[in-house]
A = this chain, B = another copy of it.
Amino acid sequence: MVASSLGERRIIDIILESLDVMPSMPVSFGDDVSAVEIDDERLAILKTDMLVGETDVPSGMSYRQAARKSVVMNISDMAAKGVKPIAILSSIGLPRGMGEEDVREIGLGLNDGAREYGAYIIGGDTNEAPDLVISCSVLGFCRREEFIGRDGARPGDILAVTGLFGKTSSGLKILMENLKAPDDIRDVLVKSVLLPEARLAEGLALASSGAATSSIDSSDGLAWSLYELSRMSGVGFIIDYVPVAPEAIRFAEANSLDPEELALYGGEEYELIVTIKPDLWDAAERAVGEAGSSLIRIGRVISERKILLRRAERLEPIEARGWEHFRR
């Protein structure tokens, strides 16, 4: 995410205005991934995302973890679309003076990220750059009808998530702002930042189930991602409750913070946010359960383009705030 005065949304709009649009593009701009038609049945799915040292690598994260993260953040987008990643290219910018061991850590981290999800690094290039930059590109194939876009949510669908939120924003506050956490949860919170995991098995299971009508990964924060899903699908949501992780609740208590704030406006939390056809809810729940997680129902899709949180007897709008990259 760009933190310049223009703002990331405006920057993307300016670039999109400059581009000729590919005829019959299978996946529109603004989705988690891009696609090219292979034949009538299959799509080649591509995703690229860049990790930059200053904005994406918090203090305490090793080169190996940073390189692994640069892969995982791309795989998370494939997961959200229900696409198995096959191969990854890594374009790497290295600061002068980086040593042999640092370079090896980067190679090992790239391999970690790929192999944990069954993919391989098959190429890339190296460059000199003023800061560590790793731009990964992931390729996968999928059957056209199994692809889960951001634009398919329909009123009446169930809104669900693959996990609870707020751990990474807590972990970042520990690493970046030296906030304290109870001893027994500190490692869990920090690990959520240093070793993030993509919900690939869950995304693939949802795609096979045919139950999901839309999906997005939550890397820009729960609130922001809900607004993106709303914008792309032309719908709104009523949220019954904010799915806050118990560790984030305890961290918030220890630091007098608002746990819902941690869960809604954190970032780099790689859960999937999905909408499910009501009559296929059981199948979706079973599929995600077999993949090792729980599908957590948090609300439903409405036709009005608002995102409202249920509070006792009132409905309150959730703010459309995004998550800003931390700074050193």
Chain A interfacial positions (CB closer than 8 Å to B): 1-6, 8, 10-12, 14-22, 25, 29, 33-36, 38, 44, 46-50, 52, 54-56, 86-87, 89-94, 96-100, 103-104, 106-108, 110-111, 114-115, 120-131, 133, 135, 137, 139, 141, 325
Q: Among A12, A17, A123, which residue has the most Cβ atoms of chain B within 10 A?
A: A123
Complex Cα gap A16–B103 (Å): 11
Whether B52 lies near A125 (C-beta < 8 A) is no
Chain B residues within 8 Å of A29, by CB: 122-123
Closest beta carbon of chain B to A308's beta carbon, Å:
30
A93 and B139 in contact, given A18-B104, A122-B25 (Cβ under 8 angstroms): no
Whether B50 lies near A107 (C-beta < 8 A) is no
Complex Cα gap A128–B15 (Å): 15
Complex Cα gap A2–B4 (Å): 28
Whether B50 lies near A91 (C-beta < 8 A) is yes
Which one of B16, B114, B125 lies within 8 Å of A50 (CB-CB)? B125
Chain B residues within 8 Å of A4, by CB: 94, 96-98, 128
Complex Cα gap A89–B135 (Å): 11
Chain B residues within 8 Å of A34, by CB: 87, 89, 122-123
Chain B residues within 8 Å of A93, by CB: 50, 52, 133
Which one of B54, B86, B110, B325 lies within 8 Å of A19 (CB-CB)? B110
